[in-house]
Amino acid sequence: MVDNTDPVFGGETGYTTTETSGMVLDFSSSSDETAGIEGFELTIGDQTFSSENGEFELSWNNLMSGGITNDGEYTATLIITDNAGNQTSQSITLNVDNVPSEVSASLTGALSPLIFTSPVTVQRSASDINSYDLPLSISIELWNENMSGFTVLTTTDALTGTFTFDVGGYTDAENYYVKVVVNDGTDDANDDTEQFAIDNTAPQLS
């Protein structure tokens, strides 16, 4: 039997997953007319995975062993070999989406629970499932009525803690907001917002 013809690639050339999740790649629709396909090899970074039927079920640990440790676009190389030794090479794109950080915030003030005078304390707790995204950048913002503008009260990279600020100079209003924004260095910032009222006016005698 003479077979000088390369195998024909079949399947998708791009795959997407999220950080910490695995990925299933399927090239089983590849074909070789004469000799038939002997096997498939997929190389990610310096790691090579083998498959007889063209299906690769890769865990996150498998992907990490090939150097994929964060969100981004990566390139892998698939080589299909037929039983006569002919080979076809195909570039495969692996997209990894970021997992946004988590954050929660709570407020306490002198007239808790909702109407505050100074001092106001913001308690925060932030986390990210991907340890390589740390340290997170955390911003504590004070938004005015109807969320039409804000001031950054402080920034930090400490995941948990409290921040206290003074509202003595602010105009009384029912709808101020504290927004705690957490960013893991990607576009996927996350936040938690708490509404509160400021009352700096003493009761009037009538």
CB under 8 A, 24+ apart: contacts of 66-73: 68/44, 68/94, 68/96, 69/132, 70/19, 70/96, 70/98, 70/130, 70/132, 70/133, 71/19, 71/96, 71/97, 71/98, 71/186, 72/96
Residues 6+ apart with CB under 8 A from 161: 123, 124
In the complex, minimum distance from the CB of residue 182 to Ca ion, in angstroms, rounded to a whole number: 10
Site string for Ca ion, 91-120 (x = CB under 5 A): -------xx---------------------
Site string for Ca ion, 7-46 (x = CB under 5 A): -------------------------x-xx-----------
Q: Is position 141 an interface residue for Ca ion (rule: CB under 5 A)?
A: no
Q: How many residues bind Ca ion (CB under 5 A)?
A: 15
d(CA 96, CA 48) in angstroms, rounded, equals: 19
Q: Does 192 bind Ca ion (CB under 5 A)?
A: no
Q: Which is nearer to Ca ion, 11 or 108 (CB)?
A: 11
Question: Contacting Ca ion (CB under 5 A), which of 20, 104, 130, 156?
Answer: 130
List the alpha helices (DSSP H) in the chain.
60-65
- List the one residue from 56, 58, 63, 82 that touches Ca ion (CB under 5 A): 82
Chain residues in the site for Ca ion (CB under 5 A): 3, 5, 32, 34-35, 70-71, 82, 86, 98-99, 128, 130, 133, 184
